[in-house]
Structure 1
Amino acid sequence: MSDGLITGMAGALDGVKVRRPRVLSPLREHLRDTMWFAPTAGLVGIMILWLLAAELDTQLVDALRADEDYDTIKDLIGIADDAKTVISTIGSAMMTFIGVVFSISLVAVQMASGQFSPRVVRLYVRSRITKATLTVFMATFLFSLLTLTSFDSEQDPRLVTTVPLVESIVAMVMVLLSLLLFVAYVNGTVRMMRIGFVIDRIARESFRVAAKQPTDLPVGTEQLGPETARITHHGRAGVLRDVNIARTVRAARRQGVVLRLIPRIGDFVVPGTPVFTVHGGAAPSRRALGYTVSVGVERTFHQDLAFGLRQLSDIALRALSPAVNDPTTAVQALDRIVQFLAAIAPHPLGALGHRDRRGEMRLVQSVPDWTALVDLGFAEIRGCAVGNPQVTRRMVAGLDDLLLLAPAERREPLLRHRELLAQAVERSVPEAADRAFALLPDRQGIG
């Protein structure tokens, strides 16, 4: 393995900017997982823009009337009458475009769910280009309707109160923006239907999550002192999506205690389940800890270190199923699994600590340790890879690369998976030459 490749893998996280947890960061991530927020915000914004444009049109006519420049007003009325037909066409055409965008999105989501994994559907829901296109199309439709209400039936320049000239220009600009966005949307949707691009997106999201992990050394529960209280979950049952770290650290600092998060991000919690243990004093009030724990129906990338590996493993497993039988896709997923594990290998895992502004430990969060991540990345794929030499060869090469990158204390699970893979091939492949071929390291599988 070349030194350049080792350096590139080990430094994969260095290119991602690490940011301190912000109070609104969970809310921002939750809004990105919805399809209603962006269009709603766009409709509100376009109504404000229309009010401003209508006011400019009114002021323009008032200024011309004050100068008694009725000839210019008459010319503007003629221009506006010509634009009225165009604006009416825009209004009807935008609804057709909205239907096309919605239909393409549904087809793309259905194909991704059936061919890749149901877990990757959220990539389409979070797609910025899809939301931007839908938002601009709906905003253009609403703006054209509002502009039509501004046309005055009065033709006498002395009696006209407003001429929607600025509004018509803005409507034309929005149509041009809609067309450009539609081209970008089609291009982006076609890319999202390609498995290589989907796998790359999952890997990049995983790196962002890893870069946000605290860099403190693992904290053992024995270092926290005796447990003084427990805080249980009283909300709805569901998957623990994320924790508002900034708010939790602030509540612990005000109370002068250390909080330890019991479930891991991605665990399923039910009402009455303990979510925090308190060390060093009384528990913060329930009001102080309000909205610190977010529970939903599915996992998200926001703070879930293992979710990317879960998706990559699912994609590989579906590709190796008899119904699909696409080992090349499984190799592509293994490429990213190896890349992620290589990048996370030197970083602290297990129980990680979050400190307040004074540097005191306030929150201890459990994250998957190295063994759990390696098992998640390789165990299920290894069980289905036997009989596909392309996949076994890529897995052996990936494990060998990770053995070079991982610290000495983290090599045991890698050696275990390599040995189990060799044993599985030994049991399942009768010919010695085929066994040797299947276990020959190759980063492209069979090219």
Structure 2
Amino acid sequence: MSDWTVTQGPPPGGRPRVLSPLREHLRDTFWFAPTTAMVGVFLVWVGAQEVDSALVSALQRDGEFEAVADLMRFAEDARAVVNAVSSAMMTFIGVVFSISLVAVQMASGQFTPRVVRLFVRSRITKATFAVFLATFVLTLLVLSSFESGADPRTVASVPLVQSVLTLVMVGLSLLLFVLYVNATLRLMQISHVITRIATESFRVAASMPVPDRDTDAPDLGTATAWVPHEGRSGVLRDVHVARLVRVARKHGVVLRMIPRIGDFVVAGTPVLAVHGGPAPPPRALRYTVSVGLERTYHQDLGFGLRQLSDIALRALSPSVNDPTTAVQAVDRIVQLLAALSRRPLDAALYRDRSGKVRLVQPVPGWTALVDLGFAETRGSAAGSPQVTRRMMAGLDDLLLLSPPDRREPLLRHRALLRQAVERRAASSAERAFALRPDRQGIG
């Protein structure tokens, strides 16, 4: 019998958690933050211009023309600074862009192309680009506000607040540049990349429905209708859980996802099975399933293990030959599997407010996760005692943590690892050394 993950009902009077994938999709884009920053700085500039106009008008009404003249002299001095900042910001943007390209190219070549997403999702990288572009746009807007040779009695505005705001943005840009260089250097270190992957994977596991072993899986019976995938073909990135639950509740049916997150979905193939009634109208199911060119962290429980396995395989390839990196990847694979060893898997059940199951979503089972974490790495590690010793120790630890009904795939991988080493090692002493469990590999 399959394990099931079941959501608990919301508290009385509480609102169900909205599981919209929009936030995750925006995190996977690079245009949103800079565009928002440039629009925001334009609105701030409009407000600063209004403040400058109000300040000059107040001084002129009070007859403080000498103060207006002082403000104009300060603005003329600040004009040279703003002009210099405007020219320098484009150079800074070019430097940041070049550093990012080098870091992405290095990470893609040495680790795996799938870790490029970490650079795209980096908050400090987006913030740096956003603030730099916003500062450049602000300097252009401020330069357009200067009036040369104006009479203090008739001048409409003096860009005092605008100039101060520009200097503040310059200081913020310099601070972010230092933080950006530090963050980029860390992202070029494999240990930090592996840690980030593990962190994202734990976040996905934590966002899954709360397990409840006391509730049995409902008998859905035979499907009464099928919903085909409409639109382009691609990798299933995520589903809008809250909307699907609302649609199923409104039409009195249970929806069951057929493909798993990360599967490639072809247009026209069934994506939802309907149980208990006719299929909801296509308009109600619009924008509930999202496909893309590649997998994302959102709702994808196996994507982290996929990346860690890819890093280990790349490290064990003859062109790289870096078993220490493979050991670091195995460390996190064991950590993730240990965290999932006692969680119900195979499917996630989502309930409506009344506690009735409305959506069944398949998730990777325990055997699939163990195979994903160890199968390919095990096949490439037979000639590296450092990695085989770490894998033996990791499998032994997982055997201690896992319940009895989940030990079979672990025992299978340990036996296959032993067979691979025995075929590869020339002597019994080498075989014994390579199969001795060691959490550090070889020190």
Which of residues 33, 52, 61 in structure 1 aligns to 2:28? 33
Q: Secondary structure at the match of 1:276?
A: strand
- Name the structure 2 match of 1:14: none
Alignment of 1:408-447 (within 5 A): 408-447=404-443
Q: Kindly provide the CA deviation profile for residues 397-436 of structure 1, in whole angstroms up to 9, marking residues without a partner as x.
A: 0000000101111010001100111111111112111101
Does the CA-based 8 Å contact 2:131-2:169 persist in structure 1?
yes
- Name the structure 1 match of 2:165: 170
- Tell me how far apart the structure 2 counterparts of residues 248 and 51 of structure 1 sit (CA, whole Å): 43
User: Unaligned stretches of 5+ in structure 2?
Assistant: 1-14
Q: Does 1:238 align with 2:234?
A: yes
Q: Secondary structure at the match of 1:189?
A: helix
Amino acid at match of 2:99: I
The structural deviation recorded for 1:224 is 1.0
Which of residues 45, 57, 71 in structure 1 aligns to 2:52? 57
Q: Secondary structure at the match of 1:227?
A: coil
Does the CA-based 8 Å contact 1:21-1:245 persist in structure 2?
no
Does the CA-based 8 Å contact 1:354-1:361 persist in structure 2?
yes
Q: Does 1:295 align with 2:291?
A: yes
- Name the structure 1 match of 2:393: 397
Amino acid at match of 1:40: T
Which of residues 281, 285, 294 in structure 2 aligns to 1:285? 281
- Name the structure 1 match of 2:112: 117
Does the CA-based 8 Å contact 2:211-2:343 persist in structure 1?
no
Q: Kindly provide the CA deviation profile for residues 334-358 of structure 1, in whole angstroms up to 9, marking residues without a partner as x.
A: 0000000000111110012011122
Q: Kindly provide the CA deviation profile for residues 352-391 of structure 1, in whole angstroms up to 9, marking residues without a partner as x.
A: 2011122110000001000000000000000000110000
- Name the structure 2 match of 1:348: 344
The structural deviation recorded for 1:301 is 0.3
Which of residues 364, 374, 394 in structure 2 aligns to 1:378? 374
Amino acid at match of 1:138: L
The structural deviation recorded for 1:222 is 7.0
- Tell me how far apart the structure 1 counterparts of residues 160 and 354 of structure 2 sit (CA, whole Å): 58
- Tell me how far apart the structure 1 counterparts of residues 375 and 16 of structure 2 sit (CA, whole Å): 34
Which of residues 78, 91, 95 in structure 1 aligns to 2:86? 91
Which of residues 91, 105, 125 in structure 2 aligns to 1:130? 125
Q: Compared with structure 1, are the counterparts of its residues 104 and 382 closer, same or farther at alpha carbon in structure 2 (3 Å cutoff)?
A: same
User: Unaligned stretches of 5+ in structure 1?
Assistant: 1-18
Which of residues 175, 185, 189 in structure 1 aligns to 2:184? 189
The structural deviation recorded for 1:155 is 3.1
The structural deviation recorded for 1:237 is 0.5
Alignment of 1:233-382 (within 5 A): 233-382=229-378
Q: Secondary structure at the match of 2:30?
A: coil
Q: What is the TM-score with the length of structure 1 in the denominator?
A: 0.94
Q: What root-mean-square deviation, in Å, do the aligned CA atoms of Structure 1 and Structure 2 show?
A: 1.3
- Tell me how far apart the structure 1 counterparts of residues 353 and 166 of structure 2 sit (CA, whole Å): 49
Q: Compared with structure 1, are the counterparts of its residues 222 and 176 closer, same or farther at alpha carbon in structure 2 (3 Å cutoff)?
A: closer
- Tell me how far apart the structure 1 counterparts of residues 399 and 38 of structure 2 sit (CA, whole Å): 54
Q: Secondary structure at the match of 1:230?
A: strand
- Tell me how far apart the structure 2 counterparts of residues 239 and 221 of structure 1 sit (CA, whole Å): 28
Amino acid at match of 1:366: P
Q: Compared with structure 1, are the counterparts of its residues 184 and 385 closer, same or farther at alpha carbon in structure 2 (3 Å cutoff)?
A: same
- Tell me how far apart the structure 1 counterparts of residues 136 and 152 of structure 2 sit (CA, whole Å): 29
Does the CA-based 8 Å contact 1:154-1:160 persist in structure 2?
no
Greater CA drift, 217-226 or 140-149: 217-226
Amino acid at match of 1:139: A
Amino acid at match of 1:233: H
Amino acid at match of 1:249: V
Q: Secondary structure at the match of 1:144?
A: helix
- Tell me how far apart the structure 1 counterparts of residues 348 and 141 of structure 2 sit (CA, whole Å): 54
Does the CA-based 8 Å contact 1:261-1:275 persist in structure 2?
yes
- Tell me how far apart the structure 1 counterparts of residues 217 and 259 of structure 2 sit (CA, whole Å): 14
Q: Compared with structure 1, are the counterparts of its residues 32 and 20 closer, same or farther at alpha carbon in structure 2 (3 Å cutoff)?
A: farther
% same residue? 68
Q: Secondary structure at the match of 2:271?
A: strand
The structural deviation recorded for 1:323 is 0.3
